[in-house]
């Protein structure tokens, strides 16, 4: 098997997928106004759009900041997270911008924003007035630290939250510096959490007869929630969890191990039976009765010794051979993939986890599928990410503007239109 870090690896052709513009999802008919910028809001509305919601992305004249995160001048982040949406481009500094946004609110189910707390009020769009325009509206307010509290006015990028939350301090190796995640972890967790919370609030409106409401969604809270019972553990033992690399503080063995072909595999034996199976499979059944390794408590103490024994065994085989060997022994193991190996993997291809979609910039764009698969009303990728202002005219017409008013709006510089 090739070295997973070898840039010369060939990439197998991904399954070809076509956009399915006529597909209907369970959220069809749900209109969402997305005023957010960057990642968390775009991920939140991507999840809704994938299942059929009509997401109107309201962008400033320079476009969502996410459009600027490019690779070789291609808007890869935008394309991945703004599929299935429509773009309305407005000059936010125009004196009639707020009045135009207000026209979008009646009939909308949700409004998503990620301005610094207080900005929506300063713009002239306070939540209480939005709820007067549409009493059933679910308003999601994304920020770094929340709408209240001593830090609520601080800039709220995910990096700051990932450090503040305790995640970075827990991540990495004990003899090295804390490690920030290499992707937008806090934003991703907030996007998922926000989509769930927005749907919960929508159910209150549609099923329980309730009213619209405001959802306070900081980037901080979901990532703290994901770290588990760290506060309780500290109260019990008086110790802050140290960085442990890829080891687990709860069960042993669990680590990544280098293979003969300079790849890596990850092995986890989180039950007593699995740990014993590992020892027997590597030809060391006597270690099952060794006091150092007989119980999980003792294995945690002697983790360095046990990791060396297992690592020495794994180092004599390639990634592929290790996976085959341990799977035959019913031990939980898997390869540590890079992007190329993931794209080439037969399971990923069979399930179309990634597929090549038609793209005007790249010819084909490898895009992740809808991450949850419903058996009756599945999500789908119906349209590519929109050009800036691609749907301005259509959205304004749906908001009640006549053709003359739309022409006047475009001519005044209040709105911008782009066609494909």
> What is the CATH number for 164?
3.40.50.10540
The answer to whether residues 305 and 405 belong to one domain is: no
**Owning domain of residue 313:** 264-335
pLDDT at 38: 94
Of residues 54, 187, 221, 307, which has the active-site annotation?
Answer: 187
pLDDT at 250: 87
pLDDT at 313: 98
pLDDT at 8: 43
The answer to whether residues 203 and 326 belong to one domain is: no
The answer to whether residues 115 and 157 belong to one domain is: yes
**Both structure tokens of 275:** 């740990």
The answer to whether residues 141 and 289 belong to one domain is: no
Specify the pairing of strand 54-59 against strand 85-90.
Answer: parallel
Task: Note whether residue 405 is domain-resident.
Answer: yes
Whether residue 175 lies in the annotated active site: no
The answer to whether residues 191 and 309 belong to one domain is: no
pLDDT at 22: 87
The answer to whether residues 366 and 330 belong to one domain is: no
Which residue, 274, 301, 335, sits at the end of a domain? 335
Residue in the structure block whose two tokens are 């794209």: 343
Task: Note whether residue 95 is domain-resident.
Answer: yes
Spans of the chain below 50 pLDDT: 1-8
The answer to whether residues 330 and 386 belong to one domain is: no
Cα separation, 371 vs 294, in Å, equals 40
pLDDT at 137: 98
**Both structure tokens of 409:** 């709006």
The count of structural domains within the chain is 2
Residues 6+ apart with CB under 8 A from 251: 268, 269, 270, 271, 275, 296, 299, 300
Q: What is the largest CA-CA distance in the chain?
A: 86
Task: Note whether residue 149 is domain-resident.
Answer: yes
Cα separation, 104 vs 399, in Å, equals 6
Rounded to two decimals, the pTM is 0.93
The answer to whether residues 35 and 107 belong to one domain is: yes
Task: Note whether residue 347 is domain-resident.
Answer: no
pLDDT at 34: 98
Q: Concatenate the DSSP letters of all residues of 145-164 into one string.
A: S-SSSTTTTS---HHHHHHH
pLDDT at 155: 87
Task: Note whether residue 239 is domain-resident.
Answer: no
The answer to whether residues 155 and 210 belong to one domain is: yes
The answer to whether residues 38 and 92 belong to one domain is: yes
Task: Note whether residue 38 is domain-resident.
Answer: yes
pLDDT at 3: 44
Task: Note whether residue 268 is domain-resident.
Answer: yes
CA distances from 237 to 31, 231, 232 (A): 50, 10, 9
What's 320's domain CATH number? Answer: 3.30.1540.10
Task: Note whether residue 26 is domain-resident.
Answer: no
Which residue, 289, 318, 335, sits at the end of a domain? 335
Residues 6+ apart with CB under 8 A from 374: 26, 51
Cα separation, 10 vs 28, in Å, equals 40
The answer to whether residues 87 and 223 belong to one domain is: yes
pLDDT at 249: 84
């Amino acid at each position: 098997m090739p070295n997973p870090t070898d840039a010369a690896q060939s990439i197998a052709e991904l399954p070809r997928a076509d956009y399915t513009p006529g597909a209907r999802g369970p959220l069809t008919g749900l209109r969402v106004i997305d005023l957010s910028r960057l990642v968390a809001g775009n991920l939140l509305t991507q999840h809704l759009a994938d299942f059929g919601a009509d997401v109107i992305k309201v962008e400033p004249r320079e476009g969502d900041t996410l459009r600027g995160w490019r690779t070789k001048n291609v808007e890869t982040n935008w394309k991945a997270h703004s599929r299935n949406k429509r773009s309305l481009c407005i000059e936010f500094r125009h004196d009639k911008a707020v009045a135009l946004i207000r026209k979008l609110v009646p009939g909308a189910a949700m409004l998503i924003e990620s301005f610094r707390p207080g900005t929506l009020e300063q713009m002239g769009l306070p939540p209480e007035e939005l709820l007067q325009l549409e009493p059933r509206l679910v308003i999601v307010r994304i920020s770094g630290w929340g709408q209240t509290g001593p830090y609520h006015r601080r800039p709220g990028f995910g990096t700051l939250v990932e450090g503040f939350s305790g995640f970075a301090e827990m991540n990495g190796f004990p003899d090295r510096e804390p490690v920030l995640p290499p992707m937008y972890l806090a934003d991703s967790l907030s996007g998922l959490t926000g989509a769930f919370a927005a749907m919960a609030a929508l159910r209150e409106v549609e099923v329980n007869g309730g009213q619209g409401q405001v959802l306070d969604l900081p980037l901080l809270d979901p990532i703290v929630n994901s770290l588990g019972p760290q506060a309780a553990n500290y109260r019990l033992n008086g110790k802050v969890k140290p960085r442990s690399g890829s080891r687990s503080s709860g069960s042993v063995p669990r680590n990544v191990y280098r293979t003969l072909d300079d790849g890596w595999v990850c092995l986890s034996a989180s039950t007593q039976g699995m740990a014993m199976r590992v020892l027997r499979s590597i030809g060391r059944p006597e270690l099952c009765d060794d006091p150092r390794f007989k119980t999980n408590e003792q294995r945690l103490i002697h983790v360095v010794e046990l990791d060396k024994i297992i690592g020495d065994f794994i180092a004599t085989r390639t990634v592929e051979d290790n996976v085959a060997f341990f799977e035959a022994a019913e031990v939980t193991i898997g390869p540590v993939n890079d992007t190329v190996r993931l794209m080439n993997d037969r399971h990923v291809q069979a399930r179309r986890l990634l597929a090549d979609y038609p793209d005007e910039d790249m010819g084909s764009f490898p895009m992740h599928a809808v991450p949850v698969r419903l058996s009756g009303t599945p999500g789908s990728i119906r349209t590519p990410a929109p050009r800036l202002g691609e749907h301005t005219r259509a959205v304004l017409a749906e908001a009640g503007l006549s053709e003359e008013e739309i022409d006047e709006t475009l001519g005044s510089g209040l709105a911008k239109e782009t066609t494909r």
